[in-house]
Amino acid sequence: MTATSVTRTAPAHVPPALAQWVEEMASLTRPNSIVWCDGSDEERQGLIDRMIDAGTLTRLNPELRPNSYLARSNPSDVARVESRTFICTDEEDGAGPTNNWADPASMRETLHGLFDGAMKGRTMYVMPFAMGPVGGALTRYGVQVTDSPYVVLSTGVMTRMGAAPLAQIAAGAPWVPAAHTVGAPLEPGQEDVAWPCNDTKYIVQFPSTREIWSYGSAYGGNAILAKKAFALRIATALGHDEGWLAAHMLLMRVTDPEGRSRHVAAGFPSACGKTNFAMMRPAVDGWKVETLGDDISWIGPDSDGRLRAINPEAGFFGVAPGTSTDTNPVAMETLVSDTVFTNVALTDDGDVWWEGMTKEPPAHLIDWQGNDWTPESGTPAAHPNARFTVGAQHCPTIADNWDDPDGVVLDAIVFGGRRKTQIPLVAQAYDWKHGVLMGASLASEQTAAAEGPVGKLRRDPLAMLPFSGIHMADHFADWLRVGGQARDVPAVFHVNWFRRDAEGNILWPGFGENIRVLKWALGRLDGSATAERTPFGWLPGEGEIDYADAGVSDEQWRRLMALDAEGLAEEAEDMSEYLDGFGDRVPAELRSALHLRQRALDSES
């Protein structure tokens, strides 16, 4: 590596295979220097100071928001780029119809061409990281190289990064190689920009070799490769081979007034309320919700055959717009310090603001693109997908077992989407197979968290549409297999917080009132709550949910729970056609569960 001067030599206990891979990446990308990250506070502060000098970060008012910073991305680099995300399985059919597939050999040739010299003039950072508590049974490890200090800072928040994971790798733990570059090499004397990136973008997963390559973006899951790329896309391939599940699900502990605690995982599409649900402040006295994770869960059987779950992440990468003391007071308390905000607005006194944070906007702001902004500007002050990145330890409701290496036993699983019509507020699946069908049938109105027209309805099976690294039908089969082999499976529920009336008003108040739905659901576990069997699933028995105390009228409740047999029959037919698109890999048990629903609906009409 004659073109590379090493500013920090590799630690002595680095395994030869890892040292060789880093050397190969450095020879390809030709950085000016290499830094092996140790995850220390001193390292973090050095990165922050460097980015402030470069204009990448703005220090917020320390009296208002201690140890917190604002980043503004390039306007072309603001969200997941699903159209540029590829799953390169050996054969095209292995990726399935929900993924963009590319031939692995051709893609490698393309990536090697793009990575050739891509880090010139920059520093290559080497980040060993753990997905899950270090040493845990479900924990897996990775190493990412990157030339973005913003990505290093973010990965240090979102994972256990540094010396401890490296020690596990040195002791023989398998690891996933993840290569990232912003694709903006610097020639001698060339001035850098605050947010380097490239208009050409690739986020590429090679499931069979457990590799991740990302080029051109520095934003979120495009570049923090431990997040969606590893924790979901590569992890689905790992779980498929090893007998566990990678799920796009929050994880929470719910304790009732008698002191009984249950653990719940819940899967919603992005920007549909996962963080709000995970950090719920219950509106009913005596109930307590504690947070274990707000985005991703890994679920697998323990030695007793029970399904356990961990949160593989160590922080929150949440959507800021819409978050307020009314919608999520716990999140607002989590963000009081030690937070990196991206693409929010800056107030005149050095704090942050975004749409929905207060009822009235400030008279003047600097918007997410660095421009003067007033309420008359006619444009959002914060980008609709503006984010906050903060360590889980800062959450006031974080559960004391959130990073238990053994994980937690799951009692219930909840699926939900953003639906204006058809789907009732809550229903329970008849059994595990029906629950998997409920998850596979998820549909939601598009949000700003991904590319595409906002508001358009799209199927998002198991909330995994952009995140499965294997054929989606194989992922369905994994859910059926893992549940089928478990001694006790969690009860499965479907919720819809977003049903509207004829005037377009949301019928259910949501947020803290959602505890009323959870109360009924958890009551179903011990049979203390009654239910009525319907073609969609078990619905709450009369009087089981105190909707009036939540401010919901009798008429609104009827609309919330109404089942339109004709509409649901059309929905079931649409789901049948959707499954047809996955071909003969669709598990027979899933088609059987859908057939039973269709038959029940036919008998109702």
Helix (H) or strand (E) holding 476: helix 472-485
**CA dist., res. 154 & res. 223, Å (int):** 10
Helix (H) or strand (E) holding 600: helix 588-604
Cα separations in angstroms, 70 against 65, 328, 410, 419: 11, 21, 37, 34
Name the residue type at position 188. Answer: P
**CA dist., res. 338 & res. 316, Å (int):** 12
User: Taking the alpha carbons of 128, 55, 72, 357 in that order, is the dihedral positive or negative?
Assistant: positive
Selecting among 37, 88, 197, 272, the annotated active-site residue is: 272
**Residue 80 phi, psi (nearest 5):** -60, 140
Question: 508: which 2 tokens?
Answer: 């259910």
395 among known catalytic residues: no
Contact present, 195 and 43 (Cβ < 8 Å): no
CB atoms within 10 A of CB 531: 19
Q: Environment class of residue 481 by beta-carbon count within 10 Å: exposed (0-12), middle (13-18) or buried (19+)?
A: middle
Helix, strand, or coil (residue 162): coil
**CA dist., res. 592 & res. 599, Å (int):** 10
Helix (H) or strand (E) holding 41: helix 41-54
Quick one: the chain helix, strand, coil %, rounded to 5? 30, 25, 45
Contact present, 130 and 163 (Cβ < 8 Å): no
Quickly tell me which residue has 């204009």 as its tokens: 55
**CA dist., res. 404 & res. 362, Å (int):** 43
**CA dist., res. 539 & res. 520, Å (int):** 10
**CA dist., res. 40 & res. 18, Å (int):** 21
Quickly tell me which residue has 């109930």 as its tokens: 287
Q: Which of 180, 167, 130, 140 is nearest to 315 (CA)?
A: 130
The DSSP output letter for 232 is I
Contact present, 552 and 560 (Cβ < 8 Å): yes
**CA dist., res. 228 & res. 467, Å (int):** 7
Contact present, 388 and 330 (Cβ < 8 Å): no
**CA dist., res. 327 & res. 357, Å (int):** 9
Cα separations in angstroms, 234 against 187, 190, 437, 467, 592: 35, 37, 23, 9, 29
What ranges make up the beta strands (E) of 392-479? Answer: 408-409, 412-416, 426-428, 443-445, 457-459
Paired residues of 402 in beta bridges: none
Quickly tell me which residue has 């990308």 as its tokens: 29
Helix, strand, or coil (residue 344): coil
Name the residue type at position 209. Answer: T
Query: Catalytic amino acids?
Result: 272
